[in-house]
Amino acid sequence: MSKRKISIEDIARRAGVSHSTVSRALRDNSLISPQVREEIKKIAREMNYVPNAVAQSLQNKRTNTIGVVVTSIADPFFAEVVEGIEQVARSAGLSVLLSTSHRDFEQELAAIDSFHRRRVDGILVADSRISKHHTQQLAQIAVPIVFLNSQTQELPEMFHIVTIDDFLGARLAVEHLVSLGHTSIGYLGVGDRSRSNHQRLEGYRIALKEAGVLPKTDWVALSDEEHGRTDDVAIAQQLLPELFKTGVTGIFCYNDMVAVGAMLACQELGISIPQDLSLVGFDGIALSRYVTPPLTTVCQPMLELGRSAMQMLLDLLQEKNVENLVLSPFLVQRGSSAELMANG
Amino acid sequence: MSKRKISIEDIARRAGVSHSTVSRALRDNSLISPQVREEIKKIAREMNYVPNAVAQSLQNKRTNTIGVVVTSIADPFFAEVVEGIEQVARSAGLSVLLSTSHRDFEQELAAIDSFHRRRVDGILVADSRISKHHTQQLAQIAVPIVFLNSQTQELPEMFHIVTIDDFLGARLAVEHLVSLGHTSIGYLGVGDRSRSNHQRLEGYRIALKEAGVLPKTDWVALSDEEHGRTDDVAIAQQLLPELFKTGVTGIFCYNDMVAVGAMLACQELGISIPQDLSLVGFDGIALSRYVTPPLTTVCQPMLELGRSAMQMLLDLLQEKNVENLVLSPFLVQRGSSAELMANG
DNA sequence: TTGAAAGCGCTAACAA
DNA sequence: TTGTTAGCGCTTTCAA
| Structural domains of chain B, with CATH | 8-51 (1.10.260.40), 65-165+302-327 (3.40.50.2300), 166-300 (3.40.50.2300)
Question: What is the rounded end-to-end Cα distance, in angstroms, of chain A?
Answer: 68
State whether B142 and A3 contact (CB < 8 Å): yes
Contact A330/A299 with Cβ under 8 angstroms? yes
Q: What is the per-residue DSSP string for B131-155?
A: -GGGHHHHHHH-S-EEEES---S--
A45 touches chain B (CB under 8 A): no
Contact B58/B15 with Cβ under 8 angstroms? no
Please provide the average confidence, as pLDDT, over all residues in chain B: 93
Listed residue (A330, A237, A227) closest to A284, CA to CA: A330
A57 touches chain B (CB under 8 A): yes
Listed residue (A308, A287, A282, A102) closest to A203, CA to CA: A282
How many Cα neighbours within 13 Å face the side chain of A234?
Answer: 6
CB atoms within 10 A of CB B6: 18
B26 touches strand C (CB under 7 A): no
Task: Report the distance separating Cα A116 and Cα B128, nearest Å.
Answer: 32
Contact A262/A241 with Cβ under 8 angstroms? no
Task: Report the distance separating Cα B192 and Cα A294, nearest Å.
Answer: 29
Q: What is the mean pLDDT of residues A147-159?
A: 78
CB atoms within 10 A of CB B247: 12
Contact A282/A298 with Cβ under 8 angstroms? yes
State yes or no: pLDDT of B148 exceeds 60: yes
Helix (H, G, I), strand (E, B) or coil at B175: helix
State yes or no: pLDDT of A226 exceeds 70: no
H-only helix segments in chain B? 8-15, 19-26, 34-46, 53-60, 76-91, 105-117, 135-141, 166-179, 194-210, 232-245, 256-269, 287-290, 302-317
Please enumerate in sequence order all residues whose Cβ is within 8 A of that of B180, keeping only pairs 6 or more positions apart, or say none.
Answer: B250, B278, B337, B338, B339, B340
State yes or no: pLDDT of A8 exceeds 80: yes
- Note if the bond before B34 is cis, omega within 30 degrees: no
The pLDDT value recorded for residue A295 is 98
B37-65: pLDDT as tens digits: 999 999 999 999 999 999 999 999 999 99
Task: Report the distance separating Cα B307 and Cα B173, nearest Å.
Answer: 25
- The H or E element that residue A163 is part of is strand A160-164
Burial category of A276 from C-beta neighbours within 10 Å (exposed 0-12, middle 13-18, buried 19 and up): middle
Length of chain A counted residue by residue: 344
Give the model's confidence band at A140: pLDDT under 50 very low, under 70 low, under 90 confident, else very high: confident
Interface of B with A in 5-34 (CB under 8 A): 5
State whether A53 and B286 contact (CB < 8 Å): no
**Which residues of chain A are within 8 Å of residue B75 when distances are taken between CB atoms?**
79
State whether A287 and B292 contact (CB < 8 Å): no
State how far residue A272 is from chain B, nearest Cα, in angstroms.
13
Shortest CA to C1' contact from B52: nucleotide: D9
Share of chain A above pLDDT 70, in %: 95
Please enumerate in sequence order all residues whose Cβ is within 8 A of that of A299, keeping only pairs 6 or more positions apart, or say none.
Answer: A283, A284, A329, A330, A331, A332
Helix (H, G, I), strand (E, B) or coil at A127: coil
Rg (CA), chain B: 26
By mean pLDDT, which of A29-43, A234-248, B79-93, B161-175 is the weakest? A29-43
The pLDDT value recorded for residue A284 is 98
| Dihedral, CA of residue A305, residue A311, residue A317 and residue A319, to nearest 10 | -110
- What number of H helices and E strands is found in chain B? 13, 12
Listed residue (B299, B267, B266, B265) closest to B280, CA to CA: B299
Which CA distances in Å does B62 have to A20, A202, B118? 25, 50, 10
Please enumerate in sequence order all residues whose Cβ is within 8 A of that of B100, keeping only pairs 6 or more positions apart, or say none.
Answer: A83, A86, A90, B69, B70, B71, B72, B73, B107, B111
For residue A267, what is the nearest residue in chain B, using CA coordinates? B292
The pLDDT value recorded for residue A95 is 98
Burial category of B213 from C-beta neighbours within 10 Å (exposed 0-12, middle 13-18, buried 19 and up): middle
Query: CA angle at residue A63 from A57 to A67, to 5 degrees?
Result: 155
B203-245: pLDDT as tens digits: 999 999 999 999 899 999 998 765 555 789 999 999 999 999 9
Q: What is the mean pLDDT of residues A252-256?
A: 98
A117 touches strand D (CB under 7 A): no
| Facing residue for B1 by CB, picked from A52, A86, A121 | A121
The pLDDT value recorded for residue A137 is 81
Give the model's confidence band at B155: pLDDT under 50 very low, under 70 low, under 90 confident, else very high: low
Instruction: Report the residue of B52, B70, B118, B233 to disrupt the A interface, i.e. the one with the largest count of A CBs within 10 Å.
Output: B118
B108-142: pLDDT as tens digits: 999 999 999 999 999 999 999 887 778 878 888 88
Mean pLDDT is highest, among A44-53, A143-152, B143-152, for A44-53
State yes or no: pLDDT of B12 exceeds 70: yes
Q: What is the mean pLDDT of residues A143-157?
A: 82
The pLDDT value recorded for residue A150 is 84
* Greater pLDDT, A141 or B210: B210
Pairing of strands A296-299, B296-299: unpaired
**Which residues of chain A are within 8 Å of residue B291 when distances are taken between CB atoms?**
290-292
Q: What is the mean pLDDT of residues B152-172?
A: 87
| Dihedral, CA of residue B54, residue B52, residue A137 and residue A156, to nearest 10 | -30
B328-341: pLDDT as tens digits: 999 999 999 999 97
Task: Report the distance separating Cα A211 and Cα A183, nearest Å.
Answer: 8
State yes or no: pLDDT of A128 exceeds 70: yes
Q: What is the mean pLDDT of residues A130-147?
A: 86
State yes or no: pLDDT of A164 exceeds 90: yes
A110 touches chain B (CB under 8 A): no
The pLDDT value recorded for residue B252 is 98
Q: Which residue is nearest to nucleotide C12 (CA to C1')?
A: A20
Contact B334/B289 with Cβ under 8 angstroms? yes
B158 touches chain A (CB under 8 A): no
H-only helix segments in chain A? 8-15, 19-26, 34-46, 53-60, 76-91, 105-117, 135-141, 166-179, 194-210, 232-245, 256-269, 287-290, 302-317
How many Cα neighbours within 13 Å face the side chain of B218?
Answer: 10
Helix (H, G, I), strand (E, B) or coil at A172: helix
Contact B281/B259 with Cβ under 8 angstroms? yes
CB atoms within 10 A of CB B263: 27
- What number of H helices and E strands is found in chain A? 13, 12
State yes or no: pLDDT of B263 exceeds 70: yes
Task: Report the distance separating Cα B108 and Cα B114, nearest Å.
Answer: 10
Q: What is the mean pLDDT of residues A250-256?
A: 98
The pLDDT value recorded for residue A158 is 72
Shortest CA to C1' contact from B32: nucleotide: C1
A217 DSSP assignment: G
State how far residue A214 is from chain B, nearest Cα, in angstroms.
34
Distance B53 CA to C15 C1' (A): 34
